[in-house]
């Protein structure tokens, strides 16, 4: 690795650490300030702070991938583990909030407010990162600032159905892993989920960016040239929602019903055998 590239990577690493550090301080402060009757507000404050952390780090990693894609991918794994360990119940992803609503663990009004917080925080993170890049901490930041923070959409040369399918598949796979690992000890689970997310980003990154998060997409992909708002909405909003819906339908309905039917059949056979013996 050249010294110039090492300097860029070092600065990006410092930016990522700084984002997590500032957001963690903000989280701890809100926990101490929002107590008693204001405790419910802490839920929304946590969503805002965690979504800002997620989106700001993703912006930096997306920019770093232009100069050092392999290192950016490695950082994706590490920062995903950090997110999982620091979010404290927040998701930073509207599809995860929608899943909780579908599973009746969140009320409609609460889910709507959380989603609004996530989208607002995602936009704020994008604006904040532009301010940070304008400071020119590294040559990469300076070049991005000189280009007017321009970016090219990965959807420019991708067919709509292919792009929707990729985002759907990414969301489906990640949600399936999250569902399957719920019984695993947290210190192992975060690494399993992070490894899958990193693999999904590697596999689908060149096609759509592998965002599978509507709020993050609004911040990171919608401002880019080469695609329309309608196409972005179908790919980055509808795709992940369909992916999570398919995962819920498969694992919470189809497989559950099949398992229940199989268990009932076994019980009936066992009862018949016992009856013959008697």
SS3 assignment, position 152 = strand
| Radius of gyration of the CA atoms of the chain, in A | 22
Is the CA virtual torsion 191, 189, 53, 220 positive or negative?
A: positive
Question: Residue 269 is encoded by which pair of tokens?
Answer: 């056979």
CATH code of the domain containing 62: 1.20.1080.10
Confidence (pLDDT) at 13: 95
Confidence (pLDDT) at 262: 55
The parent domain of residue 32 ranges over: 1-276
Confidence (pLDDT) at 260: 60
Confidence (pLDDT) at 88: 85
Which residues lie below 8 Å from residue 144, measured CB to CB, with a gap of 6+?
63, 133
Q: What is the mean pLDDT of each run of 10 residues along the chain (278 residues)?
A: 81 96 94 77 91 96 92 95 92 92 86 95 96 93 92 92 96 92 89 95 92 95 93 96 92 68 53 53
| Residues 25, 18: Cα–Cα separation, whole Å | 11
Beta-bridge partners for 152: 225
Confidence (pLDDT) at 221: 95
**Number of structural domains found in the chain:** 1
């Amino acid at each position: 690795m050249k010294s110039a590239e090492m300097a860029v990577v070092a600065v990006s690493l410092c930016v990522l650490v700084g984002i997590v550090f500032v957001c963690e301080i903000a989280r701890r402060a809100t926990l101490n300030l929002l107590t008693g009757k204001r405790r419910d507000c802490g839920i929304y404050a946590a969503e805002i702070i965690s979504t800002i952390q997620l989106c700001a780090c993703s912006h930096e990693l997306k920019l770093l991938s232009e100069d050092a894609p392999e290192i950016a991918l490695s950082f994706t794994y590490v920062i995903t583990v950090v997110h999982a360990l620091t979010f404290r119940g927040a998701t930073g992803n509207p599809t995860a909030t929608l899943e909780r609503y579908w599973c009746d663990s969140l009320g409609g009004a609460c889910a709507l407010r959380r989603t609004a917080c996530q989208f607002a925080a995602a936009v704020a993170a994008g604006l904040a990162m532009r301010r940070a890049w304008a400071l020119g901490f590294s040559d990469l930041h300076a070049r991005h600032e000189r280009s007017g923070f321009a970016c090219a959409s990965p959807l420019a040369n991708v067919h709509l159905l292919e792009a929707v399918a990729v985002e759907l598949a990414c969301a489906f796979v990640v949600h399936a892993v999250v569902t399957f690992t719920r019984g695993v000890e947290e210190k192992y689970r975060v690494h399993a989920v992070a490894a899958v997310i990193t693999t999904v980003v590697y596999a689908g990154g060149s096609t759509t960016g592998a965002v599978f998060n509507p709020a993050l997409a609004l911040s990171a992909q919608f401002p880019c040239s080469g695609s329309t708002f309608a196409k972005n909405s179908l790919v980055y909003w509808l795709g992940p929602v369909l992916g999570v819906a398919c995962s819920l339908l498969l694992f919470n309905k189809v497989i559950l019903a099949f398992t229940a039917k199989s268990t009932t059949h076994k019980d009936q056979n066992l009862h018949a055998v016992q009856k013959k013996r008697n």
